[in-house]
Amino acid sequence: MDKSCNQRGRIIAIEGSVVDVQFDHDQAMPNLYEAIDTKNFNGDKIILEVVEHLENNVARCIALGTTLNLYYHAPVFPSQDVVRIPTGNEVFGRIVNVLGEPIDHQGAINAIETKPIRHSISSLKINPDRLFHAQADILETGIKMVDFLFPLVKGSKSGILGGAALGKSILMLEMIHNVVQEHRGVCVFAGVGERIREGNELYFELKKQNIADKVMMVFGQMDEPPGARFEVAMTAVTLAEHLQDQNKDVLFFIDNVYRFIQAGAEISTMLGRVPSESGYQPTLASEVSDFQERIRPKESGSITALEALYVPADDLTDPAVVTIFSYLDALLVLSREKIQLGLYPAVDPLLSSSSNLNQAIVGKEHCDIAQECLKLITKHEELRRIVAVIGVEELSKADRLLYDRARKILNFLTQPFFTAEMYTGRKGEYVSVHDTIDGCRKIIEGRADTMSEDIFYLIGKFPETTD
């Protein structure tokens, strides 16, 4: 950072991650989100980010690292710029923190170009005619449940919603594996406020699958202060924007976007802001907007976002969860009930939704068969409650037939994952959307009526022996 200017201030208060810095009255105040450089007793550099201007030439800052051993009246040096991070192909296969510094013990990142993590989205030049009249480009993931009922379109945003231990992270990991292996795509993964163990497992799983060199990883995890956990999302989307500017279609994963909101709530509390009636920060909507609006298609390329969203106490009406809903094109809701039934991935097709499942995007055949399957699954939910009381034998012949077909559909939409082979003992399978549609059509048409539903559990394509 440039310290050549004479402008400098001093720390006058430290409360957790909030640091107040005072400048002389004849000095200009640093801009909002400007980075300020200081050091602690041990000589370790600490970056502060300006978030408020107070009276008496005081700038209130949030530390992007630990404030341990930071001391009163320590000198600070404004950088005249926001935080900048290294970008380029040198970041592939590396793990960086919120400041773009490597944390994988693999040496320095010798990137030529750097980019600011904060910028105005109003400066983007977008041709609306090209975006609104462009043909939707389906991104196949090889996961039956996703490709069939909730197809991904390049440039869209999809949310994976669920409470604790429902498989959000492993579903995202499988998508990374399949997209990179099958489509030779590039990915950016943001680990926001999640467990260190999960980040460690992700890195070694990507190394094991030989796809780490196609993924940029940014981590700001549970052990880091709220400033780092909040801004790490901006660091990650900056890397995605850089790849997008290089005419690449980027798959952007964030795990977990709720932790980004949670970190913002912690910062808001430390700044003394009065929370809203829901208990969250009063700036909730604007903070989510600042992040989500940067994930948008450009003429140079697209960012396809998959956002894992932790749902507190499985409550889908939580204000933070609802705020994110408006930015998503598809919602994949993971169900604890599906987990208990052993259906993986545990996506509830009736609670989930996708605006991409229409004839204009996926075609008439795909749309019609998907709607028939959803009708069967809806009927199954109605009959399931009756069966629990009177037994399946008491159903009419027509209802029993629909009930059996729906159970086969639900089993057929389960799938062994490559990234879960060590847990399931089954070899992972990539299933094309054509094979998924073909299998569901055969079940709907009754060509599997004589088969046991167990045959369809955790398989790939429709069994060859049924014709």
Which residues are catalytically annotated? 168, 194-195
Nearest to 59 by CA among 264, 262, 271: 271
Q: Decide: 98 and 49 in contact? Cβ < 8 Å.
A: no
H or E element, residue 75: strand 75-82
Alpha-carbon separation of residue 118 from 34, 41, 95, 237, 294 (angstroms): 9, 29, 20, 10, 10
DSSP string covering 423-465 = HH-S------HHHHHHHHHHHHTTTTTTS-GGGGTT-SSPPGG
By CB atoms closer than 10 A (0-12, 13-18, 19+), residue 269 is middle
56 Cβ contact partners less than 8 Å away, ≥ 6 residues apart: 22
Residue 165 tokens read as 């231990």
Could you tell me whether strands 34-39 and 75-82 are parallel, antiparallel, or unpaired per DSSP bridges? Answer: antiparallel
For residue 433, give the amino acid letter.
V
Alpha-carbon separation of residue 164 from 16, 76, 86, 423, 462 (angstroms): 28, 41, 34, 18, 32
